[in-house]
Every structure is written in C-alpha cells, then in structure tokens.
Amino acid sequence: MLLLFDWSLPVKEPVLLFTIILLVMLVAPAIMQRLRVPGIVGLILAGALLGPYGLNVLARSEEVVLLGTIGLLYIMFWAGLEIDMISFRKNRHKSLTFGLLTFAIPLIFGILSSHYILGYDWLPSVLLASMFSTHTLISYPIANRLRVTKNEAITVTVGGTIITDVLALLVLAIVSNIATGDMNLMFWIRLGVSLTIFIAIVFGLIPLLARWFFRVVETELTFQYIFVLAMVFLSAFLAELAGIEPIIGAFFAGLALNRLVPHASPLMGRIEFVGNAIFIPIFLISVGMLINLNVFFQGKEAIMVTIVLTTVALLTKWIAAWLTQKSFRFSKVQRQLIFGLSSSHAAATIAIILIGYNLNILDVQVLNGTVVLILITCLWSSFTTDVAARKLVLEENEADTNLSKQEQRILVPYSNPNTLTYLIDLALLLKAPNSVEPIYPLSIILDGDASREQVLTNRRLLQPALEHASKESVKLQPVHRVDINPVGGILRTAKELLVTDIVVGWNGRPSTAERFFGTILDNLLEQSQEMIFVSKMIREPLKHQRLLVFTLPNCQYEAGFLEWIQRLAYMALHLNIPVEIYAVSESVTYLQEACRKEKGLASVKIKTWMDWEEVTNIHRQLNNNDLLLFINARAGCISFDNVLDKLPTYLESTLQNHSFVLLFPNVEYPVNN
C-alpha cells in the first residue's frame, strides 16, 4: 500500500492534506507564542514556507481555497457581529469619513505613482490604485483577544472598511466592464436594482427569519449555529449575485444578526470557538501560500514594483489614519490602532489584481509584487495592532474603586492527596473571614477502565485532609471528576461551581514537551478567567513571619487588580504578620489607594523598585520564614513581560528553601481564545 500511495509534492491526498494543515495550525502559533510574536504571523509564514512558492508541500487546491474563503467570510461576519451598533450609529459619520479617506487617498496616490513612476497607462493605473484602497481586517482577532473591540477607533475602522471595500470593488467592476466593452447604461441600472434587492433581503428578511428560528429552537445550540452559518453564506452568495464581493455580504449578515446574537451568549461563544479553531487559521495559511519571495530575484524591475507598491500602500493608509485622528481628536494610540487594522492587504487585494491580470490589464510584475505586498502588510498590521491594542488597554483600564460583591468560591485541584494539606491551608488564608462557603478539593481521574476504582481510592486517600480541615473548622466539599483531560475537567468544574479562585500546587520545571505545548498550568491560564494561585509551601503557612509581595509594572491596569488586593488583605488578616509590597513608582499611588480601603492592609509598607530583574537579587535579603507572593500575569495581559519566562527557573534554583505563591489575577475573558 505504501508503494501505491502518491508521495509526490504537493500533497494531493485530501486526508493527508488536511492533517498537515491541522498540524500547522497546532505548531505554528505555539512557536510564535514562545517568541512573543502574534500567532497569525506564524500561520502566514507557515503558509509561505509550505506553499507552492516555498517547499511546495501544499498547493492552493480547491479544498484550501474553499476553506480559506470561508475563513475570510468568517472574519468579516465576526467583525459585523462584534460591532457595537449603538456606537456604530453614533459614529456612522466618522466611519463614513474614514471610509472615504482610506479609499480616496490611496486611490489618488496609487493612480499617480502607477502612471508616473511605474509607467502604466491610465486604465491599469486606476485598477492598480483600487487595490491600495482595500484592506482586510486580518489583525481583528488580535484586537478581539485584547478586548478592545468596543473602542470607538475600532468601530470607526470596521465601518470604514466596508465603505472602502465597496467603493474599491465598484471601481473594479467599472474598469473590468470598460476593458471588456460592457460599460453602458444597463450596467448601472442592473447594479442599482440588484444592490437594492440585496440590502432589502439581508436587513429585512434575514432578521425576521432569525427571530422566528431562535424562538422555535431556543435550546438547540447546534441548530442555531448552523442557521447562523447558513445566513452568512446566503448573504455572501446574494452579494455576489448583486455584483459585489461576497465579503460585503458576510459583513452585512453580521450587522443584520448583531442584536439577535448577544455577545455573552453560548451561541457567540461557539461562533468564536469554531472561527478561531478552524476557519480563520486556514484562511491565514492560504494567504501565506500566495507569497512568492522569488520575485526579488527577478531583476531590478520586480524589486522596483514591489517597493513602490508596498510604500504607497502603507504610506497612504497611514495618512488616512492620521487625518481621521486629527478630524475627530482621537489619541495617537487610536490612530496607531486604526492604521494597524487598515494597513493589511489580503483577499480583496489579490482578487482585484488577479482579475486585472486575467484581463491582461496588469502584468506579472504587479502580480508578484502584490503577493509580497500581502506578506509585508499582514506582518506590519499584526505587530502594529498588537502594540497599539496593548497601549489602548493602558489608556482605558484605569483601576476601578469599587469591588464587586461576587460570592467567593475556592477550588483546589490536586493530583496527590498527600500534598493537599498545605493547599487547603493556603485556600483558608484566601477566604473572606465571614465566608460560609466550603472549599472544594478536586481530583481529576482520567476516563478509562480503571476510573471507577481510582475514584474510590482517591476518596479513601482524602481522609487525612478531611481530618486536618475539621481541626481547623474548615468545611470541605470534595469533588471527584472523571474526564478525558485534566485542564478540561478543572475548567468545567470551575464553571459548574461558579468558582472565583483556583489553588494549585507547584510542579517545578516543565519537561521538553511541556515547554513546547504548555504545562497544565499554561493551558489553565490560557483558557480560564478565574484568579489562580500556584503554591509551594515548605512549612505550614501560619509559621511564616513576614509576607513579601512583588508586583509587576502596569499591575494596576489589570481587570483583577482590586480582587487580588482583597485576597492579600485576607491573607494579612489570617496570618497577622508584617506585609511589604514592592512596586514600580508608577504603581505606588494605585496600591496605596487600594490598600487603604482594606482592613488587613492598614499598616502595609510599599517599597519602590525598578522592575522584576531585581528579583534575582532579592533572595539575599530573605529569611527562611518569609512567605513570598509574586503577582504574575498571563501572556497577552497588559502587565505581562518577557522576564516572567525566567521566573520558574529562578524559583526552582534559588528559592528552594523558601515558600512562595504565584498569583495570576482574574481576567474578564480568557486571554487567548
């Protein structure tokens, strides 16, 4: 059978083709995450490496093109679904202004540079310039991950995207009809009538149908998802019939269903999950497969075309973003975010160029230069959006002064019942003094033939911990869960019990496989939103004589800032020992204000230090009876820093004789969806 299998490249066998794509989707973002590079960059580069112009492992076959098209439509639909319609209506004139600016400026500069610098005739210059006007929201998932999509700048950018793409594709239709000799009065009549019918169906009929369907199948989440997906592709198809690009139809479908799919609903969660897991990554890989770096070796003319195309594309989008900022008094960070989102060229761009190439309006130099343009602008957009979105979090997330009254519930997952006692002791320190809620020890038993026996064994081994808790007058409510995955079991239990705090044990340095794919803790941090405490106790918590707290720069901007201050106050009350907090100067005022309101932190000392690099020297000032609390951050959060990657090694090698706790504040949403 092995000899009969076609091993030639590119891969033609569908099962193997999809297997390779899935492995790329698994490995490429993981590598980029370790390098602190946006994951979408890894997918684009992987597509370029394995594509027809790289190692030729993957071809842009019909299957890949189909899935990539679905991914693009999904991005546009998601953008329409996520947009805040109230803010959109309020800022529609701003979206219109930005859309016209980001269309007209690239078009004008593009026509002039194409004609006078590259030497093309006026008709090819107009078509080439329309490519500069388009952009694809390829970095929108980055803004969504950092939860800044409600910002006015993004609302304006998303609204402007649809305007500039519609106008650019209208230019394409006009130029192509001129080139083929079909430009006449009937063209305009046909286009106007078809667009009117299309808009009436999408914004009139689809919402009525959706309301009826959601009412009839209220509890059937799978059917609801399939219905929504069907409406997206129906709208895309109707847009194509109307003479405009399908991406416009997908975006309009998102707008039409916006109010019917609540942002916090299970249906929205499923839409995000499937898009992030399958369709959008495949689209990014397919974009990468268009990239041909060999154009740089085809002579000076090819390089000249590429440089001009890339420079004009980025410069004109920046000018449009700058004028938008000045017109509406946006901040510099908002301008940077608008520029980042609107600077990437992908699907609409390649569609325009391919049509022009097939009509013999544009030559192969432009086609190759455009493909390199796609690579550069996608990378530029990803990095710019990531940096700007993080800065925007700093501007928007000033620390709140009122704590929520959410009922505190503490979950203590454990794998070894013999180490549970110290974890229960830490959980007790974190409990509100007047709380009557039990502590929930959780054992995860992997599903299998021996799972029943393992549950009985764990119940028996838990007895010493129960006796210890009874002496401390602590109520435990053990939970034994059979699951196929430890992290999945913890996450599902946390949701079922409405858990606010998770206490786990320290496992030391990760293995090689864990460094690449992530430890249980890495995966738990990535997928959860609860506050997480990682504990290593070498003595009973009550025997410590001083509590030292080390904070991160920008810690005050995290969503869970006041919550971890509150937990620190509970620890101080229970331990009744001196508390010292180390913080950078910018955080001191926020910490003082937050601690002032907590009874247990009235006498806390706050000391200034430069940054976490100083941790490597702090052990010289420690006593063996000190308890260290490191306020950490999840990757992607505003206070995260690359120096945290060195922390596990330092803890394992230098602080072996000290008790410490790593605290990861809660987040409003999982950081990496």
Q: What is the pLDDT of residues 193-237, one digit of tens each?
A: 888 898 899 989 999 998 888 877 755 778 888 999 999 999 999
Tell me: do 429 and 482 sit in the same domain: yes
Instruction: Report yes or no on 135 lying in a domain.
Output: yes
List, edge to edge, every strand of the sheet that includes 410-414.
479-483, 439-446, 410-414, 501-505, 531-536, 659-664, 626-631, 546-550, 579-583, 605-608
Q: With respect to residue 190, please indicate whether it lies within any of the assigned structural domains.
A: yes
Q: pLDDT band at 89, cuts 50/70/90?
A: confident
- Considering the domain architecture, whether residues 608 and 635 belong to the same structural domain is answered as yes
Q: Closest Cα partner for 569 from 629, 609, 611?
A: 629
Q: How much is the pLDDT for 513?
A: 42
Question: Which H, E and C letters describe 23-44, residue by residue?
Answer: HHHHHHHHHHHHCCCCHHHHHH
Query: Over 90: is that where the pLDDT of 532 sits?
Result: yes
Domain count, the chain: 3
pLDDT in tens, 435-473: 778 889 888 887 766 677 777 777 777 777 777 666 666
Statement to judge: residues 379 and 464 lie in one domain: no
89 and 229 housed in the same domain: yes
pLDDT of the residue at 657: 80
What is the torsion angle, in degrees rounded to the nearest 10, for the CA atoms of residue 324, residue 326, residue 331 and residue 334?
Answer: 10
Whole-number pLDDT of residue 403: 45
214 and 362, same domain (yes or no): yes
HSE, side-chain direction, 13 A CA sphere, residue 90: 10
Reference 665, options 565, 574, 546, 560; nearest CA is 560
In whole angstroms, give the CA distance from residue 161 to residue 152: 14
Domain span at residue 153? 68-279+298-393
What CATH number is associated with residue 637? 3.40.50
Q: How confident is the model at residue 619 (pLDDT cuts 50, 70, 90)?
A: low
* Range 560-579 average pLDDT: 88
Instruction: Please write the tens of the pLDDT for every residue from 376-405.
Output: 888 888 888 888 888 887 766 543 444 445
The domain boundary, picked from 464, 482, 505, lies at 505
**DSSP-assigned beta bridge partners for residue 608:** 583
Q: What CATH number should be reported for the domain holding residue 351?
A: 1.20.1530.20
**Residue 663 domain flag:** yes
Same domain flag for 309 and 193: yes
Specify the CATH number for the domain of residue 478.
3.40.50.620
Residues 658, 585 share a domain? yes
**pTM (predicted TM-score):** 0.55
- 214 and 140 share one domain: yes
- Among residues 482, 505, 528, the one where a domain terminates is 505
Domain assignment of residue 438, yes or no: yes
Q: What mean pLDDT is reported for the chain? A: 80
Higher pLDDT, 483 or 428: 428
How far is Cα 484 from Cα 447, in angstroms, rounded to an integer? Answer: 5
Whether residue 610 lies inside any domain: the answer is: yes
For residue 21, being part of any structural domain is answered with no
551 phi and psi angles, rounded to 5 deg:
-110, 165
Residue 227 belongs to some domain of the structure:
yes
> In this predicted structure, what is the pLDDT of residue 435?
78
Q: Does some domain include residue 37? A: no
From 62-66, 105-109, 140-144, 334-338, the region with the lowest mean pLDDT? 140-144
Q: Residue 431 above 80 pLDDT?
A: yes
Q: Kindly state whether residues 388 and 422 are assigned to the same domain.
A: no
- In percent, how much of the chain has pLDDT > 70? 85
Which among 260, 254, 208, 258 is positioned nearest to 229, based on CA atoms? Answer: 254
Last residue of a domain, one of 338, 360, 393: 393
* Residues 382, 490 within the same domain: no
Do 87 and 222 belong together in one domain?
Answer: yes
State whether 406 and 388 are in the same domain.
no
